[in-house]
A and B are shown apart, each in its own frame.
Chain A
Amino acid sequence: MSKLGLIIKREYLTRVKKKSFLIMTFLTPLLLIGIIAIPVIIQTSNKGEHKYFAIVDESLKMKEAFVSNEIIDYLYFGGNIDTAINLNKSGNYTGVVFIPSDYMNDSVTIISDNPISLIAKSKIKQSIDEYVRQQNLKKLNIDPVDLQKAYVSVPVKTMENKAGRLKSSSSEIMTALGFIGAMLIYMFIFMYGVQLMRGTMEEKGGRIVEIIISSAKSFELMLGKIIGIALVAFTQFGIWLISLVVLIIATQGKLESSWPQIAAVLENIKNINLTSWSILFLIYFIGSYLLYGSLFAAIGAAVDSETDTQQFMLPITIPLILAFVFAQSIIQDPSGQLAVWLSIIPFTSPIVMMVRIGFSVPAWQLILSIFLLILTFIATVYIAAKIYRIGLLSYGKKVSYKDIWKWIRYKG
């Protein structure tokens, strides 16, 4: 086995054999599901503490608008603003709702000691709006049932024109897939980039490096680390993919009966061509990993301690974070100027292009973007190798950008 092969093998095996790898592999999907599911669960189950609101109605028209429910109890009073203030002072109520006689112009006021929750506010507003709407309908002599009939939903579907043949497309799913791809790239660059950095720091700080580079070239060490860790990432992908497929097959019958929506989405995914998505995902994943990974490795080689990494991490992470932030708005306008440029600039292209590929991207943009990405990662790997070679043997000095610039230009 070549030296590079040995280094790759060591990097791969020591990581995959760790317990934390196994734990992260199974925990990450759970965590992701958790991030999506927990807010939904909280919203649907937790209605908060029971609240008591006093209604002080100057107009004396609104009594029927307020019906106590499981969240809020209403107590109805007649009176003016002073009544409302006094009731609030009594301290018996979460808040006091004051309805002036000319509520359409003077606006309803909710008085409370502490800010009241948005849910409570919207509940109260809903009750008032609904009541006033009903009253208006009565005045206009419209039957609410007739009005309901007037609301319709006309189905709209999208078709893609593939060389004259119409094919059903599912832009929602493509968007979702693109976003998942972008998110995975973002997450993995951070997770594995930092591992690269830490691994290099371990070798430098643990003074292992001098023994290694008296046996192998520093470039072999760096490349071996980058490839070894990439293989760890692919192993993780593989495990997730296989478990997903197994899960889908295992639950197929049950899914359709209990979760028809999910079953329908899966049915749609089956219909779209995942090959091109997968290929592009791999290209952008590998490209961005090499680009950012080599830089992370270079940082690890340059610094002596974790605290020194901060100043160098920042400029590397900014484009990544920006790309991810912009990704949200790019979904709204996937062919806009911002989207096009960010998907061509190599430092942001992997994430932004993943978001865009759900929509049709002109071939020239795709080719240019990939071409630039390849050029850039070759450049960063080259630069990183130079920093790596010298940085690994420089101890005891706080490294500045000036030093690194010197190392890059250093010949021989």
Chain B
Amino acid sequence: METFLKIENVSKTFERKKALNDVSFEVAKGEIFGLLGPNGAGKTTLIRIINRIISPDSGIVTFNGKSLSPDNLSEIGYLPEERGLYRKMKVGEQILFFARLKGLNSSQAKEAADFWMKRLKIHSWYNDKVETLSKGMQQKIQFIITVLHKPKLLIFDEPFTGFDPINVDLIKNQILWLKEQGTTIIFSTHNMPSVEEICDRIVLINKGKNILEGELTEVKNRFFSHIYEVELDKDCDISSFDSIEILEKEENKNKLRIKIKILEGKKIELIKMLAEKGNLVSFNPVVPKLHDIFVETVGENQKIEDNE
């Protein structure tokens, strides 16, 4: 794993509130990294530190091997959760203004604006005033402003809010395309299914602390609690098994569907035993949902904090 962004022991306190408390993690080059956490966990503070909008009280941020500097701002694209545009400005003018603020020259900016407006099929809006556009349309312009200057690092804070399902897919595909181009992407959201869909690795922050980190599949395995969904013939008798706990049982005409937890022994032994009893139709592990991992981890963290 080639590290692109490194957060080391970053802390930040606002008046009396500790927004970030010794947070560390690394984002690999070219991956989509999920930055997760409940409301008020410190995600926005962290993102603002990466954008140099605010500076940390302590800790180091390393960008592409060097300490983060103002020069890096043109290499970062940031889509904030709270976003807006100049309402009275024309779409084209606005895109060019922000592109040039990010350091593109006039012709580069025009070229990039052309490219992206065509890509998102909004080229006909070039001379429209922003205030005449719908919210979803404005979000598309916002997206273009974020990615236009070919940043090496993209930070999306809830990028899908305000979009209809069709546009969510459109934007999701753009994000995946940007990843293919080698862009490193930090993705912050409360929408867990979308994290499962596109993130390679995640970090979970609660109350300013890093409480869970790792590759998405690895994290899920960590939380795998040996629960399986099994489908058998209806007349199969499973009451004699004491190595399993039956969590759910559902019978229909000729099938028996059960959810079990293996208490002892190996999966393969159980499969053998089940097959001997009758016709085993299917046997699948129940992979924990990121949603449940989130709720469980944050909940436990809360308990520990309360006890302290």
Contact = CB atoms under 8 A, between A and B. Distances in A.
The yes or no verdict on A and B being binding partners is yes
Interface of A: 1, 3, 6-7, 10, 14, 18, 202, 206-208, 210-216, 393, 395, 406, 412
Q: Which of B76, B82, B101 has the most CB of A within 10 A?
A: B101
B197 to A, nearest CB: 26
A1 B82 contact: no
Contacts of B57: 412
Task: State the majority secondary structure of interface residues on B.
Answer: loop
Given A3-B101, A211-B145, A412 B82 contact: no
Nearest to A393: B53
11 contacts: A14-B89, A18-B88, A206-B85, A207-B80, A207-B84, A208-B85, A208-B86, A211-B80, A211-B142, A214-B78, A215-B101
Instruction: Report, nearest first, the 5 A-B pairs whose CB atoms are least far apart.
Output: A207-B84, A206-B84, A215-B101, A214-B51, A210-B80
Nearest to B86: A208
A18 B83 CA distance: 24
A14 B73 contact: no
A412 B98 contact: no
B98 A207 contact: no
A213 B48 CA distance: 10
B42 to A, nearest CB: 15
Contacts of A208: 83-86
Q: Which of A6, A10, A216, A393 has the most CB of B within 10 A?
A: A10
A206 B87 CA distance: 8
Interface in B81-138: 82-89, 97-98, 100-102
A6 B101 contact: yes
Given A214-B53, A393-B53, A412-B55, A207 B82 contact: yes
A318 to B, nearest CB: 31
B83 A211 contact: yes
Nearest to A207: B84
Given A210-B82, A215-B102, 15 more contacts: A3-B101, A6-B101, A7-B101, A18-B88, A202-B87, A208-B86, A210-B80, A211-B80, A211-B83, A213-B53, A214-B80, A215-B73, A393-B53, A393-B54, A395-B82
Given A393-B53, A412-B55, A212 B101 contact: yes
Contacts of B100: 1, 6
Contacts of A10: 97
A395 B78 CA distance: 19
Contacts of B87: 202, 206
B78 A6 contact: no
Contacts of A3: 101
Q: Which of A1, A18, A214, A412 has the most CB of B within 10 A?
A: A214
B78 to A, nearest CB: 5
Nearest to B50: A214
B78 A211 contact: yes
Contacts of B48: 393
Q: Which of A1, A210, A213 has the most CB of B within 10 A?
A: A210
Interface string B193-208: 0000000000000000
Nearest to A205: B84
A239 B5 CA distance: 53
Contacts of A1: 100
Given A14-B88, A215-B73, A210 B53 contact: yes
B151 to A, nearest CB: 11
A204 to B, nearest CB: 10
Interface in B56-86: 57, 73-74, 76, 78, 80, 82-86
B203 to A, nearest CB: 21
